[in-house]
């Protein structure tokens, strides 16, 4: 096992030389996470907007469930997806277990409640501000949802960011449904866990630095977009 100084230099060398193994793991991680966040965003925006505008029986219960699912333990989400996709499960015929698609499904389950709950709150706040104006224009409920989502698009960046943070750092669920198979379902987080247990600190450290850099870059970019949007709105 390398000491910390040697491991750090070895990690920097792997990053600087664009180690193929490193790039493969990073590429799969981003593919899975970005796909899951995109799907969860589309679903979450729709659910959040509908809950904010429409009035129907059980609306409060659904909103409460969404809020509760924001803290859903990842291993529980992984177990649910595993039971659904296993050979004896209802979706076993699809043969998706231990594939990137299974990991995407697990991450969508984890991210959707976060996006939906934050979207509902944003749309409800905007609705309080614009309700009379929208109704006076004769807008239908569907048109109101669309208008609120568009008007709150910059605020909703926070919801997407929260979902991305949840997905990119996920370990338990993707480990259960993906199996951490080399060259197939090995992501940054699962590789860090595996390589650390094996004593391969250099690779784990390299992936850890990349993971932190990605999270920081996304946060900085989204904050810049929100700041620009605020200035543009009041220009």
110 — pLDDT class (breaks 50, 70, 90):
very high
- pLDDT at residue number 104: 96
- pLDDT at residue number 82: 96
- pLDDT at residue number 222: 75
**Arithmetic mean of pLDDT, 141-159:** 88
- pLDDT at residue number 192: 93
- pLDDT at residue number 50: 94
Q: In this model, does residue 233 exceed pLDDT 60?
A: no
Closest by CA position to 85, among listed 73, 75, 99: 99
93 DSSP assignment: G
pLDDT greater at residue 41 or residue 235:
41
- pLDDT at residue number 217: 82
**Arithmetic mean of pLDDT, 229-235:** 58
**Arithmetic mean of pLDDT, 43-56:** 94
- pLDDT at residue number 23: 93
pTM of the model as a whole: 0.90
C-alpha torsion angle, residues 219, 224, 227, 229 (rounded to 10): -110
Q: Where are the alpha helices (DSSP H) in the chain?
A: 4-16, 20-53, 59-69, 74-85, 100-136, 141-151, 157-168, 172-178, 188-198, 201-233
Closest by CA position to 138, among listed 149, 147, 129, 126: 147
In tens, the pLDDT along 170-207 reads 899 999 999 999 889 999 999 999 988 888 888 999 99
- What average pLDDT does the structure give for the chain? 89
Q: In this model, does residue 3 exceed pLDDT 80?
A: no
137 — pLDDT class (breaks 50, 70, 90):
confident
């Amino acid at each position: 096992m390398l000491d910390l100084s040697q491991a750090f230099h070895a990690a920097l060398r792997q990053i600087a030389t664009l180690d193929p193994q490193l790039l493969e793991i990073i590429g799969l991680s981003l593919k899975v996470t970005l796909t899951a966040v995109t799907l969860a965003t589309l679903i979450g925006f729709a659910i959040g907007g509908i809950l904010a505008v429409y009035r129907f029986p059980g609306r409060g219960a659904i909103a409460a469930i969404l809020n509760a699912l924001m803290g859903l333990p990842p291993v529980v989400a992984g177990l649910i997806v595993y039971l659904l996709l296993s050979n004896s499960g209802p979706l076993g015929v699809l043969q998706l277990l231990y594939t990137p698609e299974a990991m995407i499904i697990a991450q969508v389950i984890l991210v959707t409640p976060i996006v939906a709950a934050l979207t509902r709150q944003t749309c409800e706040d905007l609705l309080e501000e614009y309700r009379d104006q929208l109704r006076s224009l004769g807008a239908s409920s569907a048109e109101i949802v669309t208008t609120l989502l568009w008007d709150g698009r910059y605020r909703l960046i926070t919801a997407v960011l929260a979902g991305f943070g949840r997905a990119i750092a996920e370990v338990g669920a993707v480990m259960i449904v993906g199996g951490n198979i080399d060259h197939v379902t090995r992501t940054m987080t699962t590789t860090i866990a595996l390589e650390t247990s094996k004593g391969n600190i250099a690779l784990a450290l390299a992936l850890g630095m990349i993971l932190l850099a990605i999270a920081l870059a996304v946060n900085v970019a989204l904050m810049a977009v929100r700041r620009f949007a605020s200035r543009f709105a009041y220009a």
